[in-house]
Chain A
Amino acid sequence: MIAAAVLALYAVAAAIAAPRLLSRGAWAERAPRLAISLWLAACVSAVASAVFAALAAAIPASVVGHGLAAFFEACAALLSHGEVLASPAAYAALSGAAAIAARIAYCGAAVLVRARRERRRHAGMLTILGRHDGELGAVVLEHDEAAAYCLPGRKGRAVITTAALRALAPEQVAAVLAHERAHLRGRHHLVLAAAEAFCLAFPRLPLFTRAGAEVARLVELLADDVAARHHPRVHIAAALVRLATGRAPVFTLGAGGETALTRVRRMLHPAAPLRRGERLAGLAAVALLLAGPVAVAAVPGVSSLLAHHCHTLSIF
């Protein structure tokens, strides 16, 4: 019961307070990959602890203590004729856990299916409207709006408009396309899909809304960094400025130029990457976020198991 309470409290605290903790300081901009891992780990951690809290509330530790086989037997018995723990509260807790797990699984599948369908439709039109430029390794689209984007998927494609080609110097075009290819190779669309699934499944919770926005921003920074390995940073910065100052699109896209500004500044004045210690601390935090809920949920079961089988040894 204590484990259940701890996990439930943690889930609530994580969903509300974690965003403030994670967005403190500017370290994320120095290590976008680590920051993305942390945000997603926090999301997984919050959802997992909510599920485990419900499970821990429904299943007494003594049941787990009799071994895993007994545990599954107990689950089966509970579902079929409710012998072991036929209390209404246990039923409510179990169905709560199932509902949370089903919700995130459903939303994840929905995001992937919808994105895939949209991409396929887009790819079909792109084949008709664009022309593949072998030298650039990208699809060129005749359009008077300067833009570059990528269409992920099995046959991922980088797309650039003729207006962008006119606005940019060749080395800037190369830098922009390297950025797009970094998205494709890094499978950033899957990272975004994961963040989006959490947003869709549990809307209006600060952790998930904030994670969605942050991950979308951080994948751009990450792709800039990858592109900067082979292209001078100044070209990426220049391309960003050129493309961001183009004619405003007829359809507005919300958001001011905050991310664009961050990106240009980062390219011109790169901050020192995280120190070894800081990086290790970050990785440890990711591990803790992922393993923590499992560990807490397992403690009563494990201690009961020990108490059951090793009578001389008892912890907790």
Chain B
Amino acid sequence: MRGLGDLESAIMDRLWSYRRPASVRDVLEDLRRDREIAYTTVMTVMDKLHTKGLLRRRQVGRAYVYETVASKEAYTAELMRAALSSGGNQAATLVHFLERLTPEESQALEAALRVYPPGGHA
């Protein structure tokens, strides 16, 4: 089996694709289509994702059903915001290319670039 992070990723991807709540059993059967995996492993990881705040759950009968708290896009946007807005803490993530040029500046630079044939001037 691959690392725990990969399993977390696989489980989240499954739940995002369902767009409805699912039980550990549902996810397990889905995952078993392309890997050998134990019920308890999936249950542990889903419980961990719940603790992390990525999944919410409610009890139905004797088992829990889980669903994602927010969409993948929302999490990605949040991750990017956290990385890019780095409140002065650049030692955490090094982010570049985030400065925005004015239209005039970029036009001037595009013109400058056209002078250079691609592949040349190494």
A interface residue numbers (CB < 8 A to B): 111-112, 114-115, 118-119, 122, 124-129, 141-143, 145-152, 161, 171, 176, 179-180, 183, 188-190, 192-193, 196, 216, 219-220, 223, 228, 231-235, 237-241, 243-246, 248-249, 251, 253, 255-261, 264, 268
Contacts and interface: CB of A to CB of B under 8 A. Distances in A.
A240 B93 CA distance: 19
A118 B76 contact: no
Nearest to B119: A232
Given A114-B92, A122-B92, A268-B112, A129 B79 contact: yes
Given A253-B85, A253-B99, 17 more contacts: A114-B89, A122-B82, A128-B12, A147-B98, A152-B91, A220-B96, A228-B122, A234-B116, A238-B113, A241-B101, A241-B106, A241-B113, A246-B100, A249-B84, A249-B98, A256-B102, A268-B113
Contacts of A190: 91
B109 to A, nearest CB: 5
B72 interface: yes
B41 interface: no
B47 interface: no
A135 B84 CA distance: 25
13 contacts: A111-B89, A115-B91, A128-B54, A151-B93, A152-B94, A192-B91, A233-B122, A244-B97, A245-B100, A248-B100, A249-B100, A253-B100, A257-B99
A232 B101 contact: no
Interface stretch (B2-10, B24-32, B56-64): B2-10
Interface of B: 5-6, 8-9, 12, 54, 72-73, 75-77, 79-85, 88-102, 105-106, 109-110, 112-113, 116-122
A147 B89 contact: no
